[in-house]
Structure 1
Amino acid sequence: MQAFCLALLCLLAGVAHGAPAQQQRAYLSVIIDDLGQNPARDSRTLALPGPVTMAIMPDTPHATDFARQAHKAGRTVILHMPMDPATGPYAWHPGTPLPELEQRLNAALAKVPYAAGVNNHMGSRMTAQPEAMAWLMGELQRRELFFVDSRTSAATVAAAKAQALGLASLSRDVFLDDVRTPEAIAGQLRIAVELAHRQGTAVVIGHPYPQTLDVLERELPKLKAQGIELIGLRQMIGERSNRAMPAHGKGGIYR
């Protein structure tokens, strides 16, 4: 009886002092956009530690070579598809007939071999077009590709159309380098880490600026010690199960 009472007192003491709860797993995915323009910069991006995703623009001089190089290195490659207000031979614009959009998508995918998915380059006007976005998500479903909504505009319907169709998809949470200073970029990465701890996952997008690469080279190896696991996009899609995060929707539904 005495032993039982002692055990009970120890248990109550643990509750009173807040016995440590099991920590929620926290995951982070990193995408680097605008690749294919500069071999030295691309190679430095490819050398980043962990499963960082390479988003390659089709209208760049080294798009095809770098896509092959990144695939050979075991990295996930995605097509960084130009969308209005982006310009160029591959860019999508509001009012463009669907057959022309399809032709531009086909040509862009041919320039970026091994693409596992697509995200939008710019696109604040185009991703707000319901008909075109619905068509795109159906086409990606047919091709067994996923979609990442870069969320360059609050008016985007891209992720909502992907979710409605059941297409494997994600939405970006944090841009790393809208302000291109090491201090600002490191601050954005800290926000992403805090968000991952709070909601379980965070998806960040950056660019191959020297300042961004400096910060990522220094900080990515430290994530594990902060309780963050760096994962690829396919695993992140599984973790999120196409649910919207709180900032993107309510009850898991994109708005």
Structure 2
Amino acid sequence: MRYFLLLILLLLPSASVFASKIAIIIDDIGYRQSDKAVLTLPASITLSILPHTPLGKNLATKAYQQGNEILVHLPMQALNGKAIGAGALTNAMSENELKTQVANAIKSVPHVTGANNHMGSLLTQLDTPMRWVMESLRLHDIYFIDSRTTKYTQAGIIARSVGVPSLKREIFLDNDKSKSGLEKQFQQAITLAKTKKKIVVIAHPYPETIAFLTTNLYRLDAENIQLVPASSLLPQQVVVTAAEQSELLQDRDRKIW
């Protein structure tokens, strides 16, 4: 009887189970020596590394060894014409050129399991090139997180229509790197996580951001929010709704100038 009661207790829901989950992605990693500081953050922080960068391979390897999840930060064409960097994906590329570029970007960052877009306010609006991107990611068994650099992004819809598991960014943590700016966004992330239960936050390897996270991440536990790798938030099934598919078809021929 005593053993039966013990079994029941073990099967009961634990009080330590978190009510909400949050994934924090640090991206734009690979060029600056100061980026190495991301290795001081907890292993549950997800790191997104730019392809073909001087520090990319080494940082990806060390981060993976200490338990961080690794993404490739795919540079995509922006509306403002800003230089995109090595591995750029543009709407001028043929299908073969773009898919080769994606494959080379993945190869340049060891231990990649996912991807998110660097810039991309133009490319993520375009059906055909984004479909090529998603077909490439599916081939490499890589999920996608839409950084949502434009409200007109089609990336998530296209990802799901192709069968690529996907998530979207809810909050940018450090557009304002001041202590008050970081605190405002961090508190917003806490509030939103409690409402939505699962959210993605994107930040950058600024010294100010790393210092803030180092001293404030403990607050998530107190708020009953668990810090998790991005992949743990992925949906169990990839489904595109009829409404989303209709919206995608309606936007297929949109001209962007």
Band the TM-score falls in, shorter-chain normalisation: 0.7 to 0.9
CA 1:104–1:63: 2 relative to 1, 3 Å: same
The alpha-carbon deviation at position 254 of structure 1 amounts to 8.7
Whether 1:31 aligns to 2:25 is yes
Q: How far is the alpha carbon of 1:42 from its aligned partner?
A: 2.9
The match for 2:69 is 76
Deviates more, 1:230-239 or 1:29-38: 230-239
- Shift of the alpha carbon at 1:234? 1.5
Residue 129 of structure 2 corresponds to which residue in structure 1?
132
Distance 1:242 1:173, change over 3 A: farther
TM-score normalised according to structure 1 size: 0.82
Structure 1 segment 49-88 matched on structure 2, within 5 A: 49-85=42-78, 86-88=83-85
Q: Which amino acid aligns with 1:30?
A: I
- What percentage of aligned pairs have identical amino acids? 32
Cα RMSD for the two superposed structures: 2.3
The structural deviation recorded for 1:113 is 1.3
Aligned residues: 225
* 1:202 paired residue number: 199
Residue segments in structure 1 that go unaligned for 5+ positions in a row: 1-22, 245-249
Q: 1:159 to 1:125 in 2, by over 3 A?
A: same
**Structure 1 partner of 2:99:** 102
Following superposition, the deviation at residue 140 of structure 1 comes to 1.1
Structure 1 CA distance for aligned equivalents of residues 60 and 187 of structure 2? 30
Q: Runs (4+) of structure 1 moved beyond 2 Å?
A: 85-89, 241-244
Question: C-alpha distance in 1, partners of 2:228/2:42?
Answer: 11
- Contact 1:49/1:220 (CA < 8 Å) preserved in 2? no
Q: Write the distance in 2 (CA, Å) between the matches of 1:89 and 1:70.
A: 22
Q: CA deviation at 1:43?
A: 2.9
1:189 to 2:186 alignment: yes
Secondary structure of the 1:223 match is: helix
- The one-character-per-residue Cα deviations of 1:72-126 (angstroms, maximum 9, x if unpaired) are 1111011001111342341011121111111211221121111111110001011
Which consecutive residues of structure 2, in runs of 5 or more, have no partner in the other structure? 1-16, 249-257
Residues 1-255 of structure 1 mapped to structure 2, 5 A cutoff? 25-39=19-33, 41-85=34-78, 86-238=83-235
Distance 1:109 1:185, change over 3 A: same
Give the 3 Å change call, closer, same or farther, for CA 207–201 of structure 1 in structure 2: same
Evaluate the alpha carbon distance shift between residue 33 and residue 154 of structure 1 in structure 2; reply closer, same or farther with a 3 A threshold. Answer: same
3-state DSSP of counterpart to 1:91: coil
